[in-house]
Structure 1
Amino acid sequence: MASSGVKVDEETVNTYKAMKLRKVNYRYVMMGIEADGFIKVVLAKERNVNQSQEEEFNDFLQSLPQDIGRYCIIDLTIPQKNGAQKDIMFLITWCPSGAPTKSHIMYTTSKKALTDKIREGMTEIQANDLSDLVYSEFLERGCK
C-alpha cells in the first residue's frame, strides 16, 4: 500500500509508551491526522473509578466522531479462562461510513506509519460503524 506521507508526532509515541508502561491511567486515547500531516493525540481519557469498564467503553463509543476517521487505543482489563485478569490494549482504526472518501483514504494509507511506531502487543480492529465495536466481542477477543 502506498504511503500517505503522514508522520507520527513524537508526543503521540510518548503517550502510547506511557500507557503501555502504566505511567498514565488512561482508559483510551484518540488520535487524528492533523492538517500539518502528523498523527496527534486529540483526546486522552483517564479511567473513571466511579464507572464500570463497560460504562467507560460506552463513553468511548459516544466520543467517536461520525464525520472523520480516528485511530484509537483502548486499554481493557479482561478476565482470562484461567481466572486471571489481563490488561489488553486494542488499536482501532475508525473510518465511519459518514466520513468523506478522503478521510477513509488518509486513515487507511497512513496506518502503517502509526503501527510502525506503536504496535507492540496490541490487538488491531478495523471499524466502520458502531456495530463493529461491541464490548462483549472485545472481551471475547482478549480472553485466552
Structure 2
Amino acid sequence: MRTSESPATPTVVKTDAQWRNELSPAEYQVLRQAGTERPYTGEYWDSTQEGVYECRACGAELFTSKEKFSSHCGWPSFFAPLADGTVRYIHDNSMGMQRVEVRCSACESHLGHLFEGEGYDTPTDERFCINSVSLKLREGTQELSPEAP
C-alpha cells in the first residue's frame, strides 16, 4: 500500500482565509476539508476529453486523460498520476475503512483516495478515485507545461 506519511513541503502556501476567498464553498469543502462530492454529479466523472487534469486549487498538473478510465464508480478514475511526486499519499482510517488519501503535492489539497488490488483491468491494478471539483481539465493534446516533471 502506497503511503508517504512524512510531511511534504508544499510549494503553494496560503492562509485559510486566502483559500476561502479563492475557492467556491464546494471546492473549499473538498480541497481544504477533505470532503467528497456525491457520485455521478461531478463535471469529469464520465468525461472522455483529452487533456491534462490540474489541481483546481493551485494549477499543478496531476493526471492526464491517458491514465483515465471508466470504473463506473461515479468519480473520475485514473490508474496512475502524471508523474512520481505530483501527488502525496496519506493513511486514512476514517469512516471505518483503511484507505489511502491522495493529496496534491504542491498545495496539500485533498483530491480523493487510492484503491489498490481490486482487480481493475489497468496496468497498475490501482484506481485513483478523484473528486471532479478538485480538478480542472486543460483540454487539448496532452502536452505538459515546461515546469512539469
> What TM-score does the superposition give when structure 2 sets the normalisation length?
0.26
**Which structure shows the bigger proportion of residues in helix conformation?**
1
> What TM-score does the superposition give when structure 1 sets the normalisation length?
0.27
